[in-house]
Amino acid sequence: MIRNIRRANARRSREWRINTYGLYEIHRFQRLTVLGASGVGGGSHTDAGIQDEPSSQYWADFPAEITPSVMAPYIARVRTMSQLTQAPTHSQQPSPGVAGDAASPGLDLTYLPAALTAGAELWPLCEATRISTHLNGYAIEALDLRTGTSVTVHADRLVLAAGTMNTLRLLFAARDRDHSLPHVSRTLGQRFYPAATQPQVLGPIPSEESTHVASTMRPTGAGIAMLAKIYRPMTVVPADRLSATVRAVPGGVTADVTRQRSPETSEQKAADAKSVGPSVDIWHTWLPQRLGLSAHPVGGAALASTRFQGVASHTGEVFGQPRLYVVDGSTLPTAPEVAPSLPIAALAERYAELMLQEA
């Protein structure tokens, strides 16, 4: 299940490839561990097809062009495209911030077939390794993990959506190591939000609900499938908006995290989870207090009004690099109180519409 592990300290980063066909990536920093999914759509889609809507106040931290009323039709479009349904809960009133309020079949059954029908090409197991300018556009170097061969693709317009950690790694390498994207903002790596989560296992599930719960999850192995039929694994996404900093080191990036979420946030999220059903608090029972565990890191290439405040404009276009767009969690200027997949998808819908209007 584990594809690769990247371990970084204050001086350098190293990578170990575990399984070419693995699904999960682990980014291990000194005070933070990030569990990412290398499947299309990221962890929230891959694990459970989860899409939750943030509060209207969340959009206040975005550039002025992005408001709740502006985003409403794009959120609705994502809900329709993703075939969202209500996920099962133990309570008629699910607690805010507990992932699982809405479930989607996942991008492999929604957006991807539509893209392929429209003429898109899908290259599985090809990993982008370097991006640079080429004539009036961009060059993307990728490694085909099946054959070990490299391939270079040229494009007039480049949309970078490698996930928060890998997008930051590619942009830092292009700006600081290869000097191929020299105009990327110096704010790159700032306003990074670990969104360290508090895992809970909720259960046991009543027998009449167990099959339905298991069917709404997207387990990646027989063991997880069996667990999902008996217990309900949950990830409690904190509303703590503590930011950290990502910076380049030889071999990749590292994250400077000085402390984890506040005790008040931890206690509140534990109460939210327990209100849904009996639970085991994995965070306090099994994990060291100094270990931050994140499946939803966002930021580091934040949307902003100017290059002095962030990396990309409200259109997703990178300041100083025309026709280079970042369309993933790294552009969120702050962490939502829910899993970030729905706001990311809604922003992507908006970016795509603006690109078509420009073309």
Which of 174, 97, 129, 168 lies closest to 339 in space, CA to CA? Answer: 97
Cα distances from 46 to residues 102, 108, 278, 323, in angstroms, run: 14, 9, 25, 29
| Residue 171 · residue 132 · CB < 8 Å | no
Measured distance CA(34)–CA(218) in Å, rounded: 20
**How many CA atoms does the CB half-sphere of 313 hold within 13 Å?**
13
Structure tokens at 275: 């209100």
Quote the pLDDT of residue 216.
38
Quote the pLDDT of residue 202.
45
pLDDT, tens digit (0-9, with 9 covering 90-100), for 321-354? 999 999 999 999 998 878 888 899 999 999 999 9
Quote the pLDDT of residue 224.
43
Quote the pLDDT of residue 38.
74
Quote the pLDDT of residue 105.
66
Weakly modelled stretches of the chain, pLDDT under 50: 89-100, 198, 200-237, 239-240, 260-261, 279-289
Cα distances from 298 to residues 7, 25, 138, 294, 340, in angstroms, run: 19, 16, 25, 10, 8
Measured distance CA(172)–CA(184) in Å, rounded: 9
| Residue 345 · residue 358 · CB < 8 Å | no
279 pairs with which residues across the strands? 202
pLDDT, tens digit (0-9, with 9 covering 90-100), for 143-187? 998 899 999 999 999 999 999 999 999 999 999 999 999 999 999
